[in-house]
Chain A
Amino acid sequence: MTDAIHRRGWIKGVAASLTGLWLAACNRINDNPDVQKTLLKAEGLNRRVHRALIDRKALAKEFTAADISKDFKANGSISPGDKPYRDHLMTGFKDYRLVIDGLVDHPMELSLADIHALPSRSQITRHDCVEGWSSIGKWTGARLGPLLDRAGLKREARYLVFHCFDTLGAATDGSNQYYESIDLIDAYHPQTILAYQMNDAVLPVGHGAPLRLRVERQLGYKQAKYIARIEAVSDFKSLHGGKGGFWEDRGYEWYAGI
Protein backbone atom coordinates (compact mmCIF):
# COMPACT_ATOMS: atom_id res chain seq x y z
CA MET A 1 0.00 0.00 0.00
CA THR A 2 2.58 2.55 1.08
CA ASP A 3 4.83 1.15 -1.63
CA ALA A 4 2.16 1.90 -4.21
CA ILE A 5 1.80 5.43 -2.88
CA HIS A 6 5.55 5.87 -2.89
CA ARG A 7 5.71 4.55 -6.42
CA ARG A 8 2.95 6.87 -7.56
CA GLY A 9 4.71 9.82 -5.95
CA TRP A 10 7.93 8.81 -7.64
CA ILE A 11 6.31 8.49 -11.07
CA LYS A 12 4.59 11.84 -10.62
CA GLY A 13 7.91 13.39 -9.66
CA VAL A 14 9.61 12.04 -12.77
CA ALA A 15 6.71 13.16 -14.98
CA ALA A 16 6.83 16.65 -13.46
CA SER A 17 10.59 16.95 -13.96
CA LEU A 18 10.36 15.71 -17.54
CA THR A 19 7.61 18.25 -18.25
CA GLY A 20 9.76 20.94 -16.66
CA LEU A 21 12.73 19.98 -18.83
CA TRP A 22 10.54 19.94 -21.93
CA LEU A 23 9.12 23.40 -21.22
CA ALA A 24 12.55 24.83 -20.44
CA ALA A 25 14.02 23.36 -23.63
CA CYS A 26 11.17 24.68 -25.81
CA ASN A 27 11.36 28.13 -24.27
CA ARG A 28 15.13 28.23 -24.56
CA ILE A 29 14.88 27.50 -28.29
CA ASN A 30 12.05 30.03 -28.63
CA ASP A 31 13.94 32.77 -26.80
CA ASN A 32 17.22 32.27 -28.70
CA PRO A 33 17.87 35.46 -30.77
CA ASP A 34 19.28 33.49 -33.72
CA VAL A 35 16.17 31.30 -33.82
CA GLN A 36 13.96 34.39 -33.71
CA LYS A 37 15.97 35.98 -36.52
CA THR A 38 15.62 32.87 -38.66
CA LEU A 39 11.87 32.61 -38.05
CA LEU A 40 11.44 36.27 -39.04
CA LYS A 41 12.82 35.50 -42.50
CA ALA A 42 9.40 34.04 -43.32
CA GLU A 43 7.81 37.45 -42.68
CA GLY A 44 9.60 39.11 -45.60
CA LEU A 45 8.85 36.10 -47.79
CA ASN A 46 5.14 36.26 -46.92
CA ARG A 47 4.98 39.96 -47.74
CA ARG A 48 6.82 39.59 -51.04
CA VAL A 49 4.74 36.61 -52.15
CA HIS A 50 1.52 38.44 -51.28
CA ARG A 51 2.71 41.53 -53.13
CA ALA A 52 3.57 39.42 -56.18
CA LEU A 53 0.39 37.32 -56.28
CA ILE A 54 -2.36 39.55 -54.90
CA ASP A 55 -3.63 42.60 -56.78
CA ARG A 56 -3.06 45.47 -54.37
CA LYS A 57 -6.14 47.24 -55.69
CA ALA A 58 -8.38 44.24 -54.97
CA LEU A 59 -11.33 45.19 -52.82
CA ALA A 60 -12.17 43.53 -49.52
CA LYS A 61 -15.56 41.82 -49.67
CA GLU A 62 -18.42 44.10 -48.70
CA PHE A 63 -21.35 42.59 -46.84
CA THR A 64 -25.02 43.47 -46.45
CA ALA A 65 -26.71 45.18 -43.49
CA ALA A 66 -28.06 41.78 -42.42
CA ASP A 67 -24.50 40.53 -41.86
CA ILE A 68 -23.54 43.25 -39.34
CA SER A 69 -22.36 41.84 -36.00
CA LYS A 70 -24.48 42.73 -32.99
CA ASP A 71 -21.54 41.90 -30.73
CA PHE A 72 -18.64 43.66 -32.51
CA LYS A 73 -15.80 43.33 -30.03
CA ALA A 74 -13.83 46.42 -28.97
CA ASN A 75 -10.21 45.48 -28.34
CA GLY A 76 -6.93 47.13 -27.32
CA SER A 77 -7.66 50.53 -25.78
CA ILE A 78 -11.39 50.81 -25.25
CA SER A 79 -11.54 53.92 -23.07
CA PRO A 80 -8.27 55.89 -23.14
CA GLY A 81 -7.49 57.64 -19.87
CA ASP A 82 -4.93 59.96 -21.44
CA LYS A 83 -5.65 63.58 -20.42
CA PRO A 84 -5.73 65.23 -23.88
CA TYR A 85 -8.19 62.59 -25.01
CA ARG A 86 -10.34 62.92 -21.88
CA ASP A 87 -10.50 66.69 -22.40
CA HIS A 88 -11.73 66.26 -25.98
CA LEU A 89 -14.24 63.65 -24.87
CA MET A 90 -15.63 65.99 -22.18
CA THR A 91 -16.17 68.77 -24.73
CA GLY A 92 -17.62 66.52 -27.42
CA PHE A 93 -14.50 66.88 -29.61
CA LYS A 94 -15.50 70.46 -30.52
CA ASP A 95 -11.87 71.63 -30.22
CA TYR A 96 -10.47 68.49 -31.83
CA ARG A 97 -8.27 69.13 -34.85
CA LEU A 98 -6.85 66.36 -36.99
CA VAL A 99 -3.28 67.38 -37.78
CA ILE A 100 -1.84 66.39 -41.16
CA ASP A 101 1.84 67.25 -41.43
CA GLY A 102 5.29 65.90 -42.18
CA LEU A 103 6.24 65.62 -45.86
CA VAL A 104 3.25 67.54 -47.23
CA ASP A 105 3.06 70.82 -49.12
CA HIS A 106 0.06 72.07 -47.16
CA PRO A 107 0.03 71.01 -43.51
CA MET A 108 -3.55 71.03 -42.25
CA GLU A 109 -5.64 71.09 -39.13
CA LEU A 110 -9.16 69.83 -39.70
CA SER A 111 -12.13 69.99 -37.37
CA LEU A 112 -14.65 67.16 -37.32
CA ALA A 113 -17.00 69.37 -39.35
CA ASP A 114 -14.25 69.81 -41.98
CA ILE A 115 -13.75 66.04 -42.09
CA HIS A 116 -17.48 65.37 -42.45
CA ALA A 117 -17.48 67.69 -45.48
CA LEU A 118 -14.81 65.62 -47.28
CA PRO A 119 -15.61 63.01 -49.96
CA SER A 120 -16.85 60.02 -47.98
CA ARG A 121 -17.47 56.34 -48.36
CA SER A 122 -19.53 53.71 -46.50
CA GLN A 123 -18.58 50.06 -46.43
CA ILE A 124 -19.72 46.96 -44.56
CA THR A 125 -16.59 44.92 -44.01
CA ARG A 126 -15.20 42.15 -41.86
CA HIS A 127 -12.72 43.09 -39.15
CA ASP A 128 -10.22 40.29 -38.48
CA CYS A 129 -8.39 40.35 -35.17
CA VAL A 130 -4.91 38.84 -34.94
CA GLU A 131 -6.31 36.80 -32.03
CA GLY A 132 -8.49 34.88 -34.46
CA TRP A 133 -12.02 36.31 -34.21
CA SER A 134 -13.89 38.38 -36.82
CA SER A 135 -16.75 40.87 -36.58
CA ILE A 136 -18.66 42.66 -39.34
CA GLY A 137 -19.44 46.37 -39.14
CA LYS A 138 -20.47 49.30 -41.28
CA TRP A 139 -17.97 52.13 -41.47
CA THR A 140 -18.52 55.62 -42.86
CA GLY A 141 -15.71 58.07 -43.19
CA ALA A 142 -13.58 60.41 -45.25
CA ARG A 143 -11.62 58.78 -48.06
CA LEU A 144 -7.95 59.15 -47.33
CA GLY A 145 -6.78 59.42 -50.97
CA PRO A 146 -8.52 62.74 -51.87
CA LEU A 147 -7.49 64.18 -48.49
CA LEU A 148 -3.84 63.38 -49.20
CA ASP A 149 -4.17 65.03 -52.62
CA ARG A 150 -5.36 68.19 -50.87
CA ALA A 151 -2.45 68.09 -48.45
CA GLY A 152 -0.07 67.50 -51.36
CA LEU A 153 2.40 64.73 -50.56
CA LYS A 154 6.01 65.61 -51.20
CA ARG A 155 8.10 63.41 -53.48
CA GLU A 156 10.01 61.78 -50.61
CA ALA A 157 6.86 60.70 -48.77
CA ARG A 158 6.62 56.89 -48.62
CA TYR A 159 4.48 56.13 -45.58
CA LEU A 160 1.75 57.66 -43.49
CA VAL A 161 2.12 57.43 -39.72
CA PHE A 162 -1.04 57.59 -37.62
CA HIS A 163 -0.30 59.02 -34.19
CA CYS A 164 -3.03 58.15 -31.70
CA PHE A 165 -4.24 59.62 -28.41
CA ASP A 166 -4.14 56.37 -26.49
CA THR A 167 -1.37 54.68 -24.56
CA LEU A 168 -1.65 50.96 -24.05
CA GLY A 169 -0.17 49.25 -21.01
CA ALA A 170 1.44 50.48 -17.83
CA ALA A 171 4.48 52.47 -19.05
CA THR A 172 4.36 56.21 -18.29
CA ASP A 173 7.34 57.37 -20.38
CA GLY A 174 5.37 57.66 -23.63
CA SER A 175 6.93 54.51 -25.06
CA ASN A 176 3.49 52.92 -25.15
CA GLN A 177 1.79 55.55 -27.31
CA TYR A 178 -0.28 53.79 -29.97
CA TYR A 179 0.67 54.45 -33.56
CA GLU A 180 0.48 52.71 -36.90
CA SER A 181 1.78 53.20 -40.41
CA ILE A 182 0.76 52.23 -43.93
CA ASP A 183 2.33 52.67 -47.35
CA LEU A 184 0.90 54.95 -50.04
CA ILE A 185 -0.65 52.16 -52.11
CA ASP A 186 -2.80 51.21 -49.13
CA ALA A 187 -3.41 54.90 -48.35
CA TYR A 188 -4.87 55.47 -51.83
CA HIS A 189 -6.90 52.22 -51.84
CA PRO A 190 -10.58 53.17 -52.34
CA GLN A 191 -11.62 51.37 -49.14
CA THR A 192 -9.09 53.21 -46.97
CA ILE A 193 -11.08 55.74 -44.94
CA LEU A 194 -10.94 57.77 -41.75
CA ALA A 195 -14.13 56.45 -40.18
CA TYR A 196 -16.27 58.73 -38.02
CA GLN A 197 -19.37 56.54 -38.06
CA MET A 198 -19.92 52.91 -37.17
CA ASN A 199 -23.18 51.17 -38.05
CA ASP A 200 -24.74 54.54 -38.98
CA ALA A 201 -24.11 56.05 -35.52
CA VAL A 202 -21.33 58.30 -34.24
CA LEU A 203 -18.18 56.22 -33.79
CA PRO A 204 -18.26 54.98 -30.18
CA VAL A 205 -15.32 55.52 -27.82
CA GLY A 206 -14.64 51.78 -27.66
CA HIS A 207 -14.12 51.70 -31.40
CA GLY A 208 -11.89 54.77 -31.65
CA ALA A 209 -13.87 58.04 -31.50
CA PRO A 210 -13.55 60.51 -33.05
CA LEU A 211 -11.61 58.95 -35.96
CA ARG A 212 -10.28 55.50 -36.74
CA LEU A 213 -8.43 54.22 -39.75
CA ARG A 214 -10.03 51.51 -41.88
CA VAL A 215 -7.41 49.87 -44.05
CA GLU A 216 -9.29 46.75 -45.09
CA ARG A 217 -7.41 43.59 -46.11
CA GLN A 218 -5.19 43.82 -43.05
CA LEU A 219 -5.63 42.67 -39.44
CA GLY A 220 -7.30 44.64 -36.67
CA TYR A 221 -4.19 46.13 -35.08
CA LYS A 222 -3.59 48.06 -38.31
CA GLN A 223 -6.98 49.85 -37.91
CA ALA A 224 -5.61 52.64 -35.67
CA LYS A 225 -8.18 54.20 -33.31
CA TYR A 226 -8.26 57.66 -31.63
CA ILE A 227 -6.25 59.28 -34.44
CA ALA A 228 -4.70 62.62 -33.44
CA ARG A 229 -2.26 63.25 -36.24
CA ILE A 230 -1.28 61.89 -39.64
CA GLU A 231 2.36 62.39 -40.52
CA ALA A 232 3.81 61.74 -43.98
CA VAL A 233 7.33 60.31 -43.68
CA SER A 234 10.03 58.82 -45.89
CA ASP A 235 10.64 56.05 -43.36
CA PHE A 236 9.58 55.26 -39.80
CA LYS A 237 12.85 53.94 -38.38
CA SER A 238 13.32 56.91 -36.06
CA LEU A 239 9.80 56.75 -34.61
CA HIS A 240 9.20 54.93 -31.31
CA GLY A 241 10.59 51.40 -31.66
CA GLY A 242 11.28 51.91 -35.36
CA LYS A 243 9.07 49.09 -36.65
CA GLY A 244 6.19 51.28 -37.79
CA GLY A 245 3.57 50.53 -35.15
CA PHE A 246 2.77 49.82 -31.52
CA TRP A 247 2.33 46.08 -32.07
CA GLU A 248 5.06 45.97 -34.70
CA ASP A 249 7.49 47.27 -32.05
CA ARG A 250 6.36 44.29 -29.98
CA GLY A 251 7.17 41.77 -32.71
CA TYR A 252 4.02 41.66 -34.83
CA GLU A 253 4.29 41.92 -38.60
CA TRP A 254 4.21 45.38 -40.21
CA TYR A 255 2.48 43.77 -43.18
CA ALA A 256 -0.65 42.51 -41.44
CA GLY A 257 -2.30 40.78 -44.38
CA ILE A 258 -1.99 37.35 -42.74
Chain B
Amino acid sequence: MTESRSVTKVLTYRHTLVVRISHWLNVLSICLLLMSGLQIFNAHPSLYWGQKATFAEPWLHMGAVTRGETTMGVTTLGPLSFNTTGLFGYSGKVGAREPRGFPSWATIPSYRALVDGRHWHFFFAWLFVLNGAFYVIGNLLNGHIRRDLLPTADQLTRKHLWHEIIEHARLRFPKGEEARRYNVIQKFTYLAVIFGVLPLMILTGLTMSPAVNAGQPWLVEVFGGRQSARSLHFICANLIVLFVLVHVALVIVVGFFNSMRSMITGRYVLEIEDGDAA
Protein backbone atom coordinates (compact mmCIF):
# COMPACT_ATOMS: atom_id res chain seq x y z
CA MET B 1 0.00 0.00 0.00
CA THR B 2 2.90 2.33 -0.64
CA GLU B 3 1.37 3.79 -3.76
CA SER B 4 -2.24 4.17 -4.66
CA ARG B 5 -3.31 2.40 -7.82
CA SER B 6 -6.55 2.94 -9.60
CA VAL B 7 -8.60 -0.12 -10.38
CA THR B 8 -10.98 -0.41 -13.30
CA LYS B 9 -13.90 -2.77 -13.03
CA VAL B 10 -14.57 -4.61 -16.25
CA LEU B 11 -17.78 -6.59 -16.77
CA THR B 12 -16.99 -9.73 -18.74
CA TYR B 13 -19.12 -12.57 -20.08
CA ARG B 14 -17.85 -15.65 -18.26
CA HIS B 15 -20.36 -18.50 -18.38
CA THR B 16 -22.44 -19.53 -21.38
CA LEU B 17 -26.07 -20.55 -21.07
CA VAL B 18 -25.12 -24.23 -21.53
CA VAL B 19 -22.74 -24.07 -18.57
CA ARG B 20 -25.19 -22.17 -16.37
CA ILE B 21 -28.16 -24.46 -17.04
CA SER B 22 -26.15 -27.65 -16.62
CA HIS B 23 -24.48 -26.30 -13.47
CA TRP B 24 -27.74 -25.70 -11.63
CA LEU B 25 -29.36 -28.92 -12.85
CA ASN B 26 -26.27 -30.66 -11.51
CA VAL B 27 -26.63 -28.93 -8.13
CA LEU B 28 -30.16 -30.29 -7.91
CA SER B 29 -29.45 -33.80 -9.15
CA ILE B 30 -26.21 -34.29 -7.19
CA CYS B 31 -27.83 -33.13 -3.95
CA LEU B 32 -30.71 -35.58 -4.36
CA LEU B 33 -28.48 -38.39 -5.65
CA LEU B 34 -26.28 -37.96 -2.58
CA MET B 35 -29.15 -37.90 -0.08
CA SER B 36 -30.95 -40.84 -1.70
CA GLY B 37 -27.64 -42.66 -2.12
CA LEU B 38 -26.97 -42.39 1.61
CA GLN B 39 -30.51 -43.69 2.23
CA ILE B 40 -29.69 -46.73 0.04
CA PHE B 41 -26.31 -47.16 1.74
CA ASN B 42 -28.06 -47.18 5.12
CA ALA B 43 -29.96 -50.35 4.12
CA HIS B 44 -26.63 -52.16 4.52
CA PRO B 45 -24.00 -49.79 5.94
CA SER B 46 -21.01 -52.01 5.12
CA LEU B 47 -18.67 -52.11 2.15
CA TYR B 48 -16.62 -54.96 0.69
CA TRP B 49 -14.23 -55.72 -2.16
CA GLY B 50 -14.77 -58.38 -4.82
CA GLN B 51 -17.96 -60.02 -6.05
CA LYS B 52 -19.51 -61.03 -2.75
CA ALA B 53 -19.99 -59.67 0.74
CA THR B 54 -17.69 -60.94 3.48
CA PHE B 55 -20.05 -60.02 6.27
CA ALA B 56 -17.56 -60.45 9.11
CA GLU B 57 -14.88 -58.37 7.39
CA PRO B 58 -16.22 -55.24 5.73
CA TRP B 59 -13.55 -52.66 4.91
CA LEU B 60 -15.98 -49.98 6.05
CA HIS B 61 -18.83 -50.43 8.50
CA MET B 62 -21.09 -48.11 10.47
CA GLY B 63 -23.04 -49.63 13.32
CA ALA B 64 -24.28 -49.31 16.88
CA VAL B 65 -22.43 -51.11 19.66
CA THR B 66 -23.98 -51.56 23.11
CA ARG B 67 -21.73 -52.08 26.10
CA GLY B 68 -23.59 -52.37 29.37
CA GLU B 69 -25.93 -49.39 29.63
CA THR B 70 -24.49 -47.26 26.85
CA THR B 71 -24.85 -47.52 23.09
CA MET B 72 -22.33 -45.86 20.80
CA GLY B 73 -22.07 -45.32 17.09
CA VAL B 74 -18.94 -47.06 15.85
CA THR B 75 -17.36 -46.68 12.44
CA THR B 76 -14.73 -49.21 11.46
CA LEU B 77 -12.29 -48.61 8.63
CA GLY B 78 -10.24 -51.76 8.14
CA PRO B 79 -8.55 -52.41 11.49
CA LEU B 80 -9.34 -48.89 12.78
CA SER B 81 -12.36 -48.15 14.93
CA PHE B 82 -13.84 -44.73 15.75
CA ASN B 83 -16.53 -43.54 18.12
CA THR B 84 -18.90 -41.66 15.81
CA THR B 85 -21.95 -41.44 18.09
CA GLY B 86 -24.40 -38.81 16.86
CA LEU B 87 -23.02 -38.89 13.33
CA PHE B 88 -22.37 -42.39 11.92
CA GLY B 89 -23.78 -45.67 13.23
CA TYR B 90 -26.01 -44.26 15.96
CA SER B 91 -27.68 -40.89 15.68
CA GLY B 92 -30.81 -38.84 16.25
CA LYS B 93 -32.08 -36.64 19.06
CA VAL B 94 -30.42 -37.39 22.38
CA GLY B 95 -32.64 -39.91 24.14
CA ALA B 96 -34.19 -41.07 20.86
CA ARG B 97 -31.10 -42.18 19.01
CA GLU B 98 -31.33 -45.12 16.61
CA PRO B 99 -28.87 -47.36 14.80
CA ARG B 100 -28.39 -46.04 11.27
CA GLY B 101 -25.42 -45.48 8.96
CA PHE B 102 -25.74 -41.81 8.03
CA PRO B 103 -27.88 -39.47 10.17
CA SER B 104 -31.44 -38.50 9.26
CA TRP B 105 -30.55 -34.97 8.08
CA ALA B 106 -28.33 -36.47 5.36
CA THR B 107 -30.89 -38.83 3.80
CA ILE B 108 -34.11 -38.48 1.88
CA PRO B 109 -36.53 -39.22 3.38
CA SER B 110 -35.17 -38.70 6.90
CA TYR B 111 -36.72 -41.96 8.11
CA ARG B 112 -35.53 -45.35 6.93
CA ALA B 113 -37.12 -46.11 3.52
CA LEU B 114 -34.92 -47.93 1.04
CA VAL B 115 -37.81 -48.01 -1.43
CA ASP B 116 -38.12 -44.21 -1.56
CA GLY B 117 -34.35 -43.83 -1.69
CA ARG B 118 -34.25 -46.03 -4.79
CA HIS B 119 -37.04 -44.08 -6.49
CA TRP B 120 -35.29 -40.72 -5.91
CA HIS B 121 -31.94 -42.17 -6.94
CA PHE B 122 -33.05 -43.71 -10.23
CA PHE B 123 -35.07 -40.63 -11.21
CA PHE B 124 -32.27 -38.16 -10.60
CA ALA B 125 -29.72 -40.53 -12.13
CA TRP B 126 -31.55 -39.96 -15.42
CA LEU B 127 -31.50 -36.18 -14.97
CA PHE B 128 -27.80 -36.35 -14.08
CA VAL B 129 -26.86 -38.49 -17.10
CA LEU B 130 -28.94 -36.49 -19.61
CA ASN B 131 -27.63 -33.24 -18.17
CA GLY B 132 -24.06 -34.55 -18.36
CA ALA B 133 -24.56 -35.49 -22.02
CA PHE B 134 -26.01 -32.01 -22.68
CA TYR B 135 -22.97 -30.41 -21.00
CA VAL B 136 -20.32 -32.50 -22.78
CA ILE B 137 -21.89 -32.35 -26.25
CA GLY B 138 -22.75 -28.64 -25.95
CA ASN B 139 -19.31 -27.67 -24.76
CA LEU B 140 -17.46 -29.84 -27.27
CA LEU B 141 -19.43 -28.12 -30.02
CA ASN B 142 -19.00 -24.57 -28.75
CA GLY B 143 -15.32 -25.10 -27.98
CA HIS B 144 -15.56 -24.38 -24.23
CA ILE B 145 -13.77 -27.58 -23.25
CA ARG B 146 -10.90 -27.08 -25.71
CA ARG B 147 -10.64 -23.32 -25.23
CA ASP B 148 -11.26 -22.91 -21.50
CA LEU B 149 -10.68 -26.26 -19.78
CA LEU B 150 -7.58 -27.66 -21.47
CA PRO B 151 -4.46 -26.07 -19.93
CA THR B 152 -2.47 -23.88 -22.31
CA ALA B 153 1.23 -24.41 -22.99
CA ASP B 154 2.26 -21.45 -20.81
CA GLN B 155 0.26 -22.87 -17.89
CA LEU B 156 2.04 -26.20 -18.12
CA THR B 157 5.57 -24.92 -17.55
CA ARG B 158 7.13 -26.13 -14.31
CA LYS B 159 7.63 -22.58 -13.14
CA HIS B 160 4.00 -21.64 -13.66
CA LEU B 161 2.68 -24.82 -12.01
CA TRP B 162 4.88 -24.28 -8.96
CA HIS B 163 3.86 -20.64 -8.78
CA GLU B 164 0.15 -21.57 -8.78
CA ILE B 165 0.57 -24.25 -6.15
CA ILE B 166 2.30 -21.73 -3.84
CA GLU B 167 -0.31 -19.06 -4.53
CA HIS B 168 -3.17 -21.51 -3.87
CA ALA B 169 -1.59 -22.61 -0.61
CA ARG B 170 -1.58 -18.96 0.45
CA LEU B 171 -5.22 -18.62 -0.71
CA ARG B 172 -4.15 -15.93 -3.16
CA PHE B 173 -5.91 -16.21 -6.46
CA PRO B 174 -5.27 -14.64 -9.85
CA LYS B 175 -6.63 -11.15 -10.27
CA GLY B 176 -7.02 -8.87 -13.24
CA GLU B 177 -6.23 -10.20 -16.69
CA GLU B 178 -5.08 -13.57 -15.33
CA ALA B 179 -8.54 -14.09 -13.81
CA ARG B 180 -10.08 -14.03 -17.27
CA ARG B 181 -9.20 -17.69 -17.62
CA TYR B 182 -9.32 -20.66 -15.26
CA ASN B 183 -6.06 -21.27 -13.43
CA VAL B 184 -4.30 -24.54 -14.11
CA ILE B 185 -5.20 -26.24 -10.81
CA GLN B 186 -8.81 -25.33 -11.45
CA LYS B 187 -8.59 -26.75 -14.97
CA PHE B 188 -7.08 -30.04 -13.79
CA THR B 189 -9.71 -30.37 -11.09
CA TYR B 190 -12.62 -29.69 -13.43
CA LEU B 191 -11.24 -32.12 -16.03
CA ALA B 192 -10.70 -34.84 -13.40
CA VAL B 193 -14.24 -34.45 -12.07
CA ILE B 194 -15.98 -34.11 -15.45
CA PHE B 195 -14.10 -36.84 -17.30
CA GLY B 196 -12.98 -39.01 -14.36
CA VAL B 197 -15.08 -39.10 -11.23
CA LEU B 198 -18.52 -38.43 -12.74
CA PRO B 199 -18.25 -41.08 -15.52
CA LEU B 200 -16.89 -43.53 -12.92
CA MET B 201 -19.95 -42.79 -10.81
CA ILE B 202 -22.25 -43.68 -13.72
CA LEU B 203 -20.33 -46.84 -14.65
CA THR B 204 -20.04 -48.18 -11.10
CA GLY B 205 -23.74 -47.44 -10.65
CA LEU B 206 -24.65 -49.45 -13.74
CA THR B 207 -22.37 -52.26 -12.57
CA MET B 208 -24.51 -52.82 -9.47
CA SER B 209 -27.41 -53.91 -11.71
CA PRO B 210 -27.55 -57.71 -12.02
CA ALA B 211 -29.26 -57.36 -15.42
CA VAL B 212 -26.46 -55.13 -16.72
CA ASN B 213 -23.96 -57.68 -15.38
CA ALA B 214 -25.59 -60.38 -17.53
CA GLY B 215 -25.83 -58.17 -20.62
CA GLN B 216 -22.42 -56.46 -20.35
CA PRO B 217 -20.26 -58.88 -18.34
CA TRP B 218 -17.02 -56.96 -19.05
CA LEU B 219 -18.16 -54.04 -16.93
CA VAL B 220 -18.25 -55.93 -13.64
CA GLU B 221 -14.88 -57.53 -14.50
CA VAL B 222 -13.31 -54.08 -15.01
CA PHE B 223 -14.28 -53.04 -11.49
CA GLY B 224 -13.39 -56.40 -9.94
CA GLY B 225 -16.86 -57.45 -8.80
CA ARG B 226 -20.23 -56.05 -7.79
CA GLN B 227 -19.21 -55.27 -4.21
CA SER B 228 -16.09 -53.51 -5.49
CA ALA B 229 -18.32 -51.43 -7.76
CA ARG B 230 -20.48 -50.54 -4.75
CA SER B 231 -17.36 -49.51 -2.79
CA LEU B 232 -16.01 -47.44 -5.69
CA HIS B 233 -19.43 -45.81 -6.11
CA PHE B 234 -19.26 -44.79 -2.45
CA ILE B 235 -15.67 -43.54 -2.71
CA CYS B 236 -16.46 -41.49 -5.82
CA ALA B 237 -19.48 -40.00 -4.00
CA ASN B 238 -17.11 -38.90 -1.25
CA LEU B 239 -14.76 -37.36 -3.81
CA ILE B 240 -17.68 -35.41 -5.25
CA VAL B 241 -18.63 -34.17 -1.77
CA LEU B 242 -15.00 -33.15 -1.21
CA PHE B 243 -14.95 -31.35 -4.56
CA VAL B 244 -18.20 -29.51 -3.75
CA LEU B 245 -16.92 -28.43 -0.31
CA VAL B 246 -13.69 -27.02 -1.76
CA HIS B 247 -15.56 -25.51 -4.71
CA VAL B 248 -18.05 -23.69 -2.49
CA ALA B 249 -15.31 -22.57 -0.07
CA LEU B 250 -13.33 -21.08 -2.97
CA VAL B 251 -16.44 -19.40 -4.36
CA ILE B 252 -16.77 -17.65 -1.00
CA VAL B 253 -13.05 -16.78 -0.84
CA VAL B 254 -12.78 -15.29 -4.34
CA GLY B 255 -16.05 -13.41 -4.05
CA PHE B 256 -19.40 -15.00 -3.40
CA PHE B 257 -21.56 -12.33 -5.03
CA ASN B 258 -19.46 -12.03 -8.17
CA SER B 259 -19.26 -15.81 -8.62
CA MET B 260 -22.97 -16.35 -8.06
CA ARG B 261 -23.83 -13.56 -10.48
CA SER B 262 -21.60 -15.09 -13.13
CA MET B 263 -23.21 -18.53 -12.73
CA ILE B 264 -26.72 -16.99 -12.90
CA THR B 265 -26.41 -14.16 -15.44
CA GLY B 266 -23.07 -15.08 -17.02
CA ARG B 267 -21.52 -11.69 -16.12
CA TYR B 268 -18.33 -11.57 -14.06
CA VAL B 269 -16.50 -8.45 -12.88
CA LEU B 270 -12.76 -8.32 -13.30
CA GLU B 271 -10.80 -5.80 -11.31
CA ILE B 272 -8.03 -4.64 -13.59
CA GLU B 273 -5.28 -2.44 -12.26
CA ASP B 274 -4.30 0.42 -14.56
CA GLY B 275 -1.41 -0.42 -16.76
CA ASP B 276 -2.24 -4.08 -16.46
CA ALA B 277 -4.82 -4.12 -19.21
CA ALA B 278 -3.82 -5.66 -22.45
Count of chain A residues with Cβ under 8 Å from any Cβ of B?
Answer: 51
Cβ-neighbour of B108 out of A26, A71, A134 (below 8 A)? A26
- B116 A134 Cβ-Cβ under 8 A: no
One digit per residue, 1 when the CB lies within 8 angstroms of any chain A CB and 0 when it does not, for chain B 214-258 equals 111100100000110010000000000000000000000000000
- A73 B53 Cβ-Cβ under 8 A: yes
Asked whether A54 and B41 contact (CB < 8 A) given A27-B110, A73-B55, A251-B119, the answer is: no
Closest to B104 in A: A23
Q: For the complex, give the distance between the alpha carbons of A39 and B110 in Å.
A: 17
Asked whether A135 and B52 contact (CB < 8 A) given A26-B110, A128-B226, the answer is: yes
Contacts of A136 in B (CB 8 A): 51-52
- A135 B53 Cβ-Cβ under 8 A: yes
- A134 B52 Cβ-Cβ under 8 A: yes
Contacts of B217 in A (CB 8 A): 61
Q: Kindly state whether residue A169 has any CB partner on chain B within 8 Å.
A: no
Q: Closest CB-CB distance, B105 to chain A, in whole Å? A: 5
Q: Closest CB-CB distance, A32 to chain B, in whole Å? A: 11
Closest to A191 in B: B214
Cβ-neighbour of A253 out of B43, B118, B227, B230 (below 8 A)? B118
Stretch of A45-53, A99-107, A177-185, A204-212 contacting B (4+ beta carbons < 8 Å): A45-53
Q: For the complex, give the distance between the alpha carbons of A23 and B103 in Å.
A: 11
- B209 A257 Cβ-Cβ under 8 A: yes
Q: For the complex, give the distance between the alpha carbons of A222 and B107 in Å.
A: 26
Q: For the complex, give the distance between the alpha carbons of A44 and B93 in Å.
A: 38
- B108 A132 Cβ-Cβ under 8 A: no
Q: Kindly state whether residue B123 has any CB partner on chain A within 8 Å.
A: yes
Closest to A36 in B: B119
Query: In chain A, residues 32-65, which have Cβ atoms closer than 8 Å to a Cβ of chain B?
Result: 36, 38-43, 45-46, 50, 53-55, 58-61, 63
- B119 A132 Cβ-Cβ under 8 A: no
Q: Closest CB-CB distance, A224 to chain B, in whole Å? A: 16
Asked whether A43 and B122 contact (CB < 8 A) given A61-B214, A134-B227, the answer is: yes
Q: For the complex, give the distance between the alpha carbons of A40 and B221 in Å.
A: 31
Q: Kindly state whether residue B196 has any CB partner on chain A within 8 Å.
A: no
Q: For the complex, give the distance between the alpha carbons of A60 and B226 in Å.
A: 13
Q: In terms of DSSP, what is the predominant structure of the interface of chain B?
A: helix
Count of chain B residues with Cβ under 8 Å from any Cβ of A?
Answer: 45
Q: Closest CB-CB distance, B155 to chain A, in whole Å? A: 41
Cβ-neighbour of B214 out of A23, A43, A46, A216 (below 8 A)? A216
Q: For the complex, give the distance between the alpha carbons of A136 and B51 in Å.
A: 8
- A31 B51 Cβ-Cβ under 8 A: no
Query: In chain B, residues 25-79, which have Cβ atoms closer than 8 Å to a Cβ of chain A?
Result: 35, 40-41, 43-44, 46, 48, 51-56
Contacts of B198 in A (CB 8 A): none
Contacts of B211 in A (CB 8 A): 50, 54, 217-218, 257-258
Q: Closest CB-CB distance, B178 to chain A, in whole Å? A: 40
Contacts of B210 in A (CB 8 A): 60, 126, 128, 216-219, 257
Cβ-neighbour of A58 out of B48, B105, B215, B227 (below 8 A)? B215
Q: Kindly state whether residue B111 has any CB partner on chain A within 8 Å.
A: yes
Contacts of B220 in A (CB 8 A): 61
A residues contacting B by CB (< 8 A) are: 16, 19, 22-23, 26-27, 29-31, 36, 38-43, 45-46, 50, 53-55, 58-61, 63, 67, 69, 71, 73, 126, 128-136, 216-219, 250-253, 257-258
A-B pairs, top 9 by smallest CB distance, nearest first, are A257-B211, A54-B215, A30-B109, A133-B53, A132-B44, A251-B115, A42-B123, A131-B43, A131-B44
Given A130-B43, A216-B210: 8 more A-B contacts, CB < 8 Å:
A27-B109, A39-B122, A58-B215, A61-B213, A73-B53, A126-B213, A133-B46, A257-B210
